């Protein structure tokens, strides 16, 4: 991990204003903010760890645990809400067996809800990694995702 972090730091000077971009690059590299990364960044920027934690925990973008290979963001923006997003979330949770805020044990899927992905004209929508899937219905959810394996 340290090597990758050093590579990121080489683009910066360690100023307070670079904190968010650095955190963003670290998360891009590892998929989340791994344990020890915060301490390392604090040392590089010469600020207290609490300072870095404050920033990292304030912004919704940053996560401290890994996400699935297929990270699903269900939009709960206004237009999606009016066009049935809660039902889409339910059918998704039922279909893949992963609830909002959770990651599946095999790290295949993780689900979160987001405030608005900006494709309101085509609501309801979700994003799977970087791809937007729009104009959804429970049937479309069944087409997009295989049914969860029944684990007894």
Partner 1 sequence: MKQLEAARKRAEADWTKLRESQPLVMVGTATCGRSAGAVEVLNALAVEAKRRKLVVKFIEVGCIGSCYSEPIVCVQRPGEPAVVYGNVDTKSAVQIVAAHLGNGEPLAAHALGTLGEGSFDGIPNLWMQPFFRPQVRRVLRRCGFIDPRSLDHYLATDGYKGLEKALSMAPEAIISEVERAGLRGRGGAGFPTFRKWRFCREAPSEQKYLICNADEGDPGAFMNRSVLESDPHAVLEGMIIAGRAIGASTGYVYCRAEYPLALERLRASIADAESMGILGNDVLGSGFSFHIEVKEGAGAFVCGEETALIASIEGHRGMPRTRPPFPAISGLWGKPTIINNVESLASVSLILQNGAAWYAEVGSEKSKGTKTFALVGKVRHTGLVEAPMGITLREMIYDIGGGILDDKPLKAVQTGGPSGGCIPASLIDTPVDYDSLNALGTIMGSGGLVVMDEDTCAVDFARYFLDFARQESCGECVPCRLGTTQLMQILEDITRGRGTPSDIDLLVEMGEAVKKGSLCGLGQTAPNPVLTAIRYFREEFEDHVLRNRCPAAVCKEIISAPCMHACPIDTQAATYISLIAEGRLAEAFDVILADNPLPSVCARVCHHPCEDKCTAGKWGKPIAIRALKRFATDAAKAAGIYPDKKREPRRGEKVAIVGSGPAGLMAGYQLARSGHDVTIFESLPVVGGALAVYIPAYRLPREQLADDIRHIQNAGVQIETGVTIGVDISFAQLRERYRAIFIATGAHAPSAMRIPNEDAEGVIPAMAFLKDTALGNEISIGKRIAVVGGGNAAIDAARSALRTRGVEQVTILYRRTRKEMPAFEEEIEAALEEGVRIEYLVAPVRVLADSGRLEGVECLRMELGPLDASGRRRPVPIEGSEFIVELDTLMPAIGERADTPFLPDSIEKTRWDTIATCSETFATNLEGVFAGGDVVTGPDTVIEAMAAGKIAASMIDRYLRGDPVRRSYSFVRPSLYLPGVTLTDEEIESADRPKMERIPVSRRIHHDVEDEIGLARDQAVAEARRCLRCDLETEHACEALRRQAGDAP
Q: Which residues bind partner 1 (CB under 8 A)?
A: 15-21, 23-24, 54-55, 58-62, 76-84, 87, 114-123, 125, 130-135, 137-139, 142, 147
User: Over the range 75-110, which residues count as b (16 or more CB within 10 Å of their CB) and which as e?
Assistant: bbbebbeebebeebbebbbebbbbeeeebbeeeebb
Residue number, 3 or 42, with CB nearest to partner 1: 42
Residue number, 68 or 77, with CB nearest to partner 1: 77
In the bound complex, what is the minimum distance in angstroms from residue 6's beta carbon to partner 1?
Answer: 20
What whole-number distance in Å separates Cα of residue 13 and Cα of residue 22? 10
In the bound complex, what is the minimum distance in angstroms from residue 118's beta carbon to partner 1?
Answer: 4
In the bound complex, what is the minimum distance in angstroms from residue 123's beta carbon to partner 1?
Answer: 7
Is residue 136 within 8 Å of residue 125, measured between CB atoms?
Answer: yes
Residue number, 71 or 76, with CB nearest to partner 1: 76
What whole-number distance in Å separates Cα of residue 142 and Cα of residue 131? 17
In the bound complex, what is the minimum distance in angstroms from residue 139's beta carbon to partner 1?
Answer: 7
Is residue 113 within 8 Å of residue 89, measured between CB atoms?
Answer: yes
- 112 three-class SS: strand
Residue number, 69 or 83, with CB nearest to partner 1: 83
């Amino acid at each position: 991990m340290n090597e990758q972090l050093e590579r990121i730091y080489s683009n910066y000077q360690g100023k307070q204003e670079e904190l968010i971009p650095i955190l963003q690059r670290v998360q891009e590299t590892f998929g989340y903010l791994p344990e020890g990364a915060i301490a390392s960044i604090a040392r590089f920027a010469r600020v207290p760890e609490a300072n870095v934690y404050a920033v990292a925990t304030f912004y919704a973008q940053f996560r401290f645990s890994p996400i699935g290979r297929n990270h699903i963001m269900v939009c709960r923006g206004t237009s999606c809400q009016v066009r049935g997003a809660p039902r889409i979330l339910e059918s998704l949770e039922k279909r893949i067996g992963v609830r909002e805020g959770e990651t599946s044990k095999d790290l295949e899927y993780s689900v979160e809800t987001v405030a608005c992905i900006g494709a309101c004209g085509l609501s309801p929508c979700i994003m799977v990694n970087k791809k937007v899937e729009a104009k959804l219905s429970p049937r479309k959810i069944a087409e997009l995702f295989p049914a969860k394996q029944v684990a007894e």
